[in-house]
Amino acid sequence: MAARAKAIDKRPIERLHERIVTGDRGWFFAGIAEKVARRRVAMNMSQRELAERCSTTQSAIARLERGGRPPRIDTLLRIAEALDCELVVDLNPHS
């Protein structure tokens, strides 16, 4: 019962951080990674070219595309702009 109360007391950002640290990022980041990779390839752009347009490194783009590390929101915004896309983050209530 005490463990349940502790989980409820955590702020949303703390819960998100726990999911990321424990590797439970497939629910969100894998979808973004796949879309970035598909759009980049469709635009006939290399990882290096995308990285240059986003002011980041090719290795950061590679990590993002393989789901190795979740990107920061400002990085995602730059990537979306470079890929001529709109970044949409959505919140849906639990069923």
pLDDT, tens digit (0-9, with 9 covering 90-100), for 42-95: 999 999 999 999 999 999 999 988 877 778 889 999 999 999 999 988 788 877
pLDDT at residue 23 greater than cutoff 60? no
Q: Tell me, what's the pLDDT at 2?
A: 47
**CATH for the 26-82 domain, from 2.70.98.30, 3.40.50.10140, 3.30.70.20, 1.10.260.40:** 1.10.260.40
Q: How many residues comprise the chain?
A: 95
Burial class of 36 by CB neighbour count within 10 A (0 to 12, 13 to 18, 19+): buried
pTM for this predicted structure: 0.68
